[in-house]
Structure 1
Amino acid sequence: MALILKKKKVKLIANPFADIPDPFGYGQRAVDFLRSLKHPKSRHPDRDFQLDPWQERIVRQIYGPCDEHGGRIIRNVVIMLPRGNRKTSLGAALSLLHTMGPEAVPGGEVLTAAADRKQAKLAFTEAQSIIQAGSEELWRKGQASRRFEEGRTIKLQEYKNRMTFPNGSFLESLSNDAGTQHGRTPVFALIDEIHAWKKRDLWDVIRTGLVKVPNSLSIVITTAGRGQENIAFEVIDYARKVAAGKVHDPATLPILFETSPDADWQDEEVWKACNPGLIHGYPDLNGLRQLAREAAERPADREAFRQLHLNIWLGHSSDPFVDMPIYDKGAGAFDLEELEHEPCWLAVDLSSNSDLTVIVAAWRDGQDGYIVHPWFFCPRDNLDKRADRDGVPYPQWAGEGFIEPTFGNVVDFRVVEDTIRELCERFEVREIAFDPHLGRVMMSNLADDGYPAIEMRQGWVTMAPAIKELERAIIAGRFRHGGHPVLRWNFDNIAVETDKAGNKAFHKGKSRDRIDGAVAAAMAVGRASLGEDNRSIYDTEDRPEGLLVF
């Protein structure tokens, strides 16, 4: 019996799961199997597998609802849980449900997949320990034994990370860093900690393989991640839309234990709401309290606490320039054609071999606002490898027109220069700002033809006022960018250095991060804020405050 307090009256409910359809009893069957398992770390009598009510509800929601023919309605499950809520144990038990339990298909392929080999083997090893805890007689390590051939044991092949069961089904662990896995036809796939996946290759292989088999099932179990330019955010964002009713998809079950970014991260009631295992003793409450005490004094630890224990999806940078939800307020669409006769300021950030090259145009928007639009360029050679290196979908962006690949393994500056000339013909360009480090030749070419090219070095003196103005506009909601995904990624990568005078400078949070578009945006906004002048920033008498001339 369960007790529910409602309108100050206690109502008795005989079956707390009565709201979950189970016309064929498959949900109950799955629960019964999981309860029959043993776990070596279980504190229950006889080491019975611990299946708490919140976990039982998830299992019943997956396996109970069926169509009139007994086919499972749920095909895709997305579970987002903070660290320490026993994701691995639940996932391992469900993999056994599909290999040696009532959901098993003779000869069926069951996979556990993760970002790397070590993570991928966690659920596999957990399943192995559950089997061993249940019955040593079922377990035979190494090659097929006589008992396996008689259909009574399980064979472990460690070098393949594979267990084969008497019914011919097998459980195998795969990692996203192990190369191609084409040809897979899984009946069940446990996709673990997808927030750590740097590329989507294995995801695509598994998802396309699942559709080959009727009644197949994929379960994503992960904690929150960082950034939006990855497969994890795509999966979680889709699940959010299904949960909110924005997308109708009865085959997808979203189970998202996440916290609002503006919630009080030190409030233990918030912890309990996001961590369903806390009331059952996991994760350790005193351990969380200790982490929170330390995080109150160390900003980097605080961000890790919010991400891993409260499931708050963070930006790429641990020391962000601005909060990305504030930046995203400027994502509304605008029409470039309407800006063709408005004063325009261009800024160009030319790249080394590995970075992006970008042109950013800025227009004044009223007295204190700005509209910006970027044109990005990258080398065409090895575009897929660059995507894997940076963890972002360069090929997709190129296909959608957000970035222009140029021939070769470095950006073709001739294409960039031609684009600048085209923009000057289209818009009322007042200045074209360059960092002279890589831009002297292009500046000279443009200046010789009468284009208003100027120098704007990317040092503290020139960039600090520009960054200050850019920050003011974003925070005030006066910075419109149209939601350009590459530009957003660049802003999300920014880490900030601040000097003793409070001046800010951009730098990369990690070596692979790209911030070129954000730097060029700051340059363009900085020049637009000064108005009509097209002279060098070193010559102008209307200098930004604090500018030193040597």
Structure 2
Amino acid sequence: MTAARRTRSRRCWMRLSAAGRRKAAACVSFIQACCVHTIGQWAGQPFILTPWQLEFIEQVFGLVDRHGMRVVRTALLFIARKQGKSELAAAIALFLLIADGEQAPQVYGAAKDSDQAGLVFAVAADMVRMSEYLSGVCDIKESVKRILCPMNRGFYRAIPADAAGAHGFNASGIVYDELHTAPDRSLWDVLRTSTMARQQPLTFGISTAGIGQSGICWEMYELAGKIIAGTVRNPAIAARIFEVPEGTTFAQLAEQDDGGNFLRENDLWPMANPSLIGQPGGFLDPEGIREKVREALEIPSMQNSVLQLHYNMWVGAESHWLDPTMWRACSDGSEVDALDGRECYGGLDLASTNDFCSWALVFPWAEDRGLGYDLLVRCYLPKDVAAKRTHLRGDIAAWANEGSLTLTEGNVADYNRIFNDVLADAERYVIRDIGYDPFLATNLVVPLVQEGLTLTEVRQGPRTLTPPIQVLERLVMQRRLNHYGNRLLAWQADNVVLAHSEGGLVKLAKDKSREKIDGIAASVTAIERAMHPPEAPKKSAVFSFR
């Protein structure tokens, strides 16, 4: 968070009137006297607000009009993970349900899906169960994710984004958790417009930073920045942003001294993590963040996720992947003939008709050497297609000369040649399993299965591919991969762009990569199979799915 943003947000709550301070104090008193922590070492203990939480509540609840009604209608909080935001959201939701002075309040806990919406509900429900006062005034309906307050005929309800098409909402309070995951703005708009009949409704949007500069969360983040900077004046909106300064790099955040201590842990890190131990009221052990940073130093594809989730930085949806120098260093000068008779796993990446196809084999190292692979990749390209790639004419000739590229006759992919090469490799090596993308491989898979080979469908989505991508990346960083100096594969590795999605998941972005990456895709598929070896070699044909 920049100094300007920190100062601006503090000035807002320091200008409160006496009536406003009483309003804010009512919310603070409710939370600290009635709500409790629900997990970890503080479970069951009173919810004592940290200084940043106190400031935010005073900013939201302490500004009132001449009739004593709350002025703020929308509260926006952007902060890194594990700062206690779900607990704060649950406590505020319970205050809006029980003690905000609203008759028949309707408080909605919104999120992208039922599971996410259920997280804040679960915290609120546990607070009710563990608090003598709250359990006396509320009833929990777990099966329908509701908390009822009979004394004012109100309820709190968890609601997913796919409920946006429903109508009849009359919300007095809305808590939208992890707004950056919202599939669109439908539920946000539907719920907010349903508050118009209420005297002092409150919509509370809470989130870490997101991926890509679009969508409702980015719009609210931009608005929050303008509110804090003073370029937009709207007293009905309160905003806090805890983030590292714009332009901060992962290298700066991960800088260490000779003893391995992180140099920016006490100045940059707390800007996005105000609950770190060492900060006023801090409770978050920094060791968890340290471990994530160390891991991202080993696996660079994780760096975007660490920046987003732990330093509250908005990151791009794509990033370049491997360092070309590190990739080229992964060749030990050994001969391919040494692979004869060894156990391996295959991966196929096939073109529709007229482009590169690839067949990859990964050979796990012996156990006493630790995790590592020898990687053998063959690519195929129709001659007529190669002739049209004039900008690669010299490279194509060199790749064909070294044997990493096979030029086939005609202008379409020669599946028969690939089929015969796979069978020849099955005679030369012990192929335990072959992974394939089901989108294009069916015509080749069926005859290979009929030949007695084991093939497994490998879906090309991020949940399936993130682990093998990160394994390959780590092995390159540690020089525990041997690709035999394959120059075509080096070219493709330099082309790869990763697409990032929520939760730190990644996949190879073929449509974003600057040139072909089929050999890398086949290698990742082969590694995915090597990570899930069959219990024993299968003699009969197997056609399985993942």
Cα distance between partner residues in 1 of 2:148 and 2:197: 21
* Structure 1 residue 123 corresponds to structure 2 residue 107: no
Cα distance between partner residues in 2 of 1:105 and 1:71: 11
* Cross-structure match for 2:309: 308
* Cross-structure match for 2:14: 19
Q: Which amino acid aligns with 1:198?
A: P
Q: CA deviation at 1:204?
A: 1.4
Equivalent position to 1:33, from 25, 30, 33? 30
More helix by share: 2
Matches within 5 A, 1:277-426: 277-278=275-276, 279=279, 280-319=281-320
Q: CA deviation at 1:20?
A: 4.0
* Cross-structure match for 1:358: none
CA distance 1:42–1:302, change in 2 (3 Å)? closer
Q: Which amino acid aligns with 1:53?
A: P
Cα distance between partner residues in 2 of 1:257 and 1:206: 26
Secondary structure at 2:308 match in 1: helix
* Cross-structure match for 2:190: 205
TM-superposition CA deviations, 1:269-328 (whole Å, max 9, x none): 21112211002443321111121111112112221111100001001114379xxxxxxx
Cα distance between partner residues in 2 of 1:88 and 1:74: 20
* Structure 1 residue 84 corresponds to structure 2 residue 66: no
Q: Retained in 1: the 8 A contact 2:110–2:158?
A: yes
Q: Retained in 2: the 8 A contact 1:41–1:47?
A: no
Secondary structure at 1:509 match in 2: strand
CA distance 1:156–1:68, change in 2 (3 Å)? same
Equivalent position to 2:106, from 101, 105, 109? 109
CA distance 1:16–1:203, change in 2 (3 Å)? closer
* Structure 1 residue 265 corresponds to structure 2 residue 253: yes
Equivalent position to 2:138, from 136, 150, 154? 154
Cα distance between partner residues in 1 of 2:40 and 2:48: 7
Cα distance between partner residues in 2 of 1:457 and 1:212: 67
CA distance 1:503–1:276, change in 2 (3 Å)? closer
* Cross-structure match for 1:372: none
Aligned residue pairs total 333
Cα distance between partner residues in 2 of 1:517 and 1:458: 24
Q: Retained in 1: the 8 A contact 2:386–2:393?
A: no
Q: Which amino acid aligns with 1:83?
A: R
Secondary structure at 2:233 match in 1: coil
* Cross-structure match for 1:54: 52
Q: Which amino acid aligns with 1:51?
A: L
Q: Retained in 1: the 8 A contact 2:175–2:205?
A: yes
Q: CA deviation at 1:159?
A: 2.8
Cα distance between partner residues in 2 of 1:260 and 1:216: 33
* Structure 1 residue 500 corresponds to structure 2 residue 497: no
* Structure 1 residue 509 corresponds to structure 2 residue 506: no
Q: Retained in 2: the 8 A contact 1:190–1:219?
A: yes
* Cross-structure match for 1:8: none
Cα distance between partner residues in 1 of 2:312 and 2:167: 32
Cα distance between partner residues in 1 of 2:230 and 2:31: 31
Q: CA deviation at 1:22?
A: 3.7
Cα distance between partner residues in 1 of 2:32 and 2:63: 20
Q: CA deviation at 1:17?
A: 10
Q: Which amino acid aligns with 1:214?
A: Q
CA distance 1:67–1:281, change in 2 (3 Å)? closer
Q: Which amino acid aligns with 1:33?
A: F
CA distance 1:291–1:47, change in 2 (3 Å)? same
Q: Which amino acid aligns with 1:68?
A: R
Cα distance between partner residues in 2 of 1:515 and 1:211: 47
CA distance 1:45–1:79, change in 2 (3 Å)? closer
* Cross-structure match for 2:212: 227
CA distance 1:44–1:116, change in 2 (3 Å)? closer
CA distance 1:457–1:54, change in 2 (3 Å)? farther
Q: Retained in 2: the 8 A contact 1:114–1:197?
A: yes
Q: Which amino acid aligns with 1:115?
A: K
Q: CA deviation at 1:206?
A: 1.1
Q: CA deviation at 1:185?
A: 1.5
* Cross-structure match for 1:484: none
* Cross-structure match for 1:274: 272
Cα distance between partner residues in 1 of 2:118 and 2:239: 25
Q: CA deviation at 1:163?
A: 1.2
* Structure 1 residue 246 corresponds to structure 2 residue 223: no
Q: Which amino acid aligns with 1:228?
A: Q
Q: CA deviation at 1:154?
A: 2.4
Cα distance between partner residues in 1 of 2:28 and 2:488: 56
CA distance 1:517–1:508, change in 2 (3 Å)? closer
CA distance 1:78–1:17, change in 2 (3 Å)? closer
* Cross-structure match for 1:71: 69
Give me the identity figure in percent: 28
Q: Which amino acid aligns with 2:26?
A: R
Q: CA deviation at 1:464?
A: 11
CA distance 1:100–1:517, change in 2 (3 Å)? same
CA distance 1:231–1:45, change in 2 (3 Å)? closer
Q: CA deviation at 1:500?
A: 2.3
Q: Which amino acid aligns with 2:302?
A: D
Q: CA deviation at 1:240?
A: 1.2
Secondary structure at 1:296 match in 2: helix
Equivalent position to 2:159, from 168, 174, 178? 174
* Cross-structure match for 1:95: 93
TM-superposition CA deviations, 1:76-128 (whole Å, max 9, x none): 11100100101000000001111122x14121100110111111011111111
Q: Retained in 2: the 8 A contact 1:84–1:282?
A: no
CA distance 1:306–1:111, change in 2 (3 Å)? same
Secondary structure at 1:243 match in 2: helix
**With structure 2 as the length reference, what TM-score do the two structures score?**
0.54
TM-superposition CA deviations, 1:396-432 (whole Å, max 9, x none): xxxxxxxxxxxxxxxxxxxxxxxxxxxxxxxxxxxxx
Secondary structure at 1:303 match in 2: helix
Secondary structure at 2:103 match in 1: coil
Q: CA deviation at 1:215?
A: 1.0
Q: CA deviation at 1:499?
A: 5.0
Secondary structure at 1:500 match in 2: helix
Secondary structure at 1:172 match in 2: strand
Cα distance between partner residues in 2 of 1:300 and 1:503: 14
Q: Retained in 1: the 8 A contact 2:79–2:242?
A: yes
Q: CA deviation at 1:66?
A: 1.1
TM-superposition CA deviations, 1:14-35 (whole Å, max 9, x none): x999824043110111111111
Unaligned ranges ≥5, structure 1:
1-14, 140-151, 322-351, 353-454, 466-494, 521-550
Q: CA deviation at 1:256?
A: 0.4
Secondary structure at 1:284 match in 2: coil
Q: Retained in 1: the 8 A contact 2:321–2:496?
A: no
Q: CA deviation at 1:158?
A: 2.4
Cα distance between partner residues in 2 of 1:464 and 1:210: 65
Secondary structure at 1:309 match in 2: helix
Cα distance between partner residues in 1 of 2:206 and 2:253: 23
Q: CA deviation at 1:182?
A: 2.1
Cα distance between partner residues in 2 of 1:259 and 1:174: 32
Q: Which amino acid aligns with 2:145?
A: N
Matches within 5 A, 1:479-490: none
Unaligned ranges ≥5, structure 2:
1-9, 255-263, 323-351, 353-383, 395-468, 470-486, 502-506, 516-546
* Cross-structure match for 1:236: 221
* Cross-structure match for 1:349: none
Q: CA deviation at 1:513?
A: 11
TM-superposition CA deviations, 1:46-98 (whole Å, max 9, x none): 71112111111111111111121212121111100100101000000001111
**With structure 1 as the length reference, what TM-score do the two structures score?**
0.54
Q: Retained in 2: the 8 A contact 1:20–1:61?
A: no
